[in-house]
Amino acid sequence: MTKKLSGKTAIVLGVAPGNVGHAIARRFVDDGAAVLIAGRRPDALASVAEDIGAQWQQCDITSESDLDALVATALERLGRIDVGVNATGWGLLTPFEDTTREDLEKMAAVQFTGPFQFFQRLVANMADGGSIIQISSVTASIMFENHAAYMGTKAGIDHVVRCVANEYGHRGIRANSIAPGGVADAPMSGGGLNYPPIRSLYLREIPLGRVGVAEDVANVAAWLAGDESAFVTGQVVQVSGGQTLRRNPSIADLAGAISVEQA
């Protein structure tokens, strides 16, 4: 069987054990790519790299020097950069009026400024015909309460991705976002989605009738990284089972479901 990413090189930033970045990196390796994974925790990266057969480099997306070192390492070890994935995020849940300046600055650093600067380095150093992939969220399109800082920065960086697609298309560089809904086997949302009362609320809002898993996101990332998507750029690909056709449960829905379960 032909490995569809054979001969390609990739950076996957935002990898930790069991998260979406881990699933994407594993899929890329399985499809034949040479992969450099990155994240904040060296011990976790070493474990994942050994598990999937990748190389690793410590990188905090909020550090310009770390981003410089990541790209330099990729060029040194892999020879070039064909694919760059940003899977970092911070799932802050705080009421709108309680969100502090410190919260906003941290959120912007992780989910807007850091990705922006990562993409700057990618377009300056990646091969023509490369693919940039941003992991966004269904909440960049549909509402969820107490999540404004997260949602706003995800929506903002999605538009930056469109700008990259527009400005670097002449080099054949494609830039797209993937917007998952909740991912049941990933740390950020898995706890809630594996709690039956909450899971049932989400299933009501997902036309395909199941919650998402990391493999769903990895499948789309592999497609966007490969040549079969060579005429796709500037898009937000929704990977939510159709949830954007409906809604997220409200905080009141979630609280009511939990109270009934505990009664």
Q: What is the pLDDT of residues 93-127, one digit of tens each?
A: 999 999 999 999 999 999 999 999 999 999 999 99
Residue 244: in which H helix or E strand, if any?
Answer: none
Give the chain's domains with CATH numbers: 9-187+212-246 (3.40.50.720)
Of 150, 168, 195, 202, the active-site residue reads 150
Core vs surface per residue 98-128: b (16+ CB within 10 A) or e: ebeeeeeeebbbbbbbbbbbbbebbbeebbe
CA distance 131 to 111: 19
What global pTM score does this model have?
0.96
Q: pLDDT, tens digit, for every residue of 174-232?
A: 999 999 999 999 987 756 898 999 999 999 999 999 999 999 999 999 999 999 999 99
What are the strands of the beta sheet with 131-135, ordered from one edge? Answer: 55-58, 34-39, 9-13, 83-86, 131-135, 174-180, 236-239
Backbone torsion region of residue 172, taken as left when φ is above 0, otherwise alpha when ψ lies between -120 and 50, otherwise beta: left
Answer yes or no: 150 catalytic: yes
Q: How high is the pLDDT of residue 261?
A: 61
In the predicted model, what is the mean pLDDT of residues 142-150?
A: 97
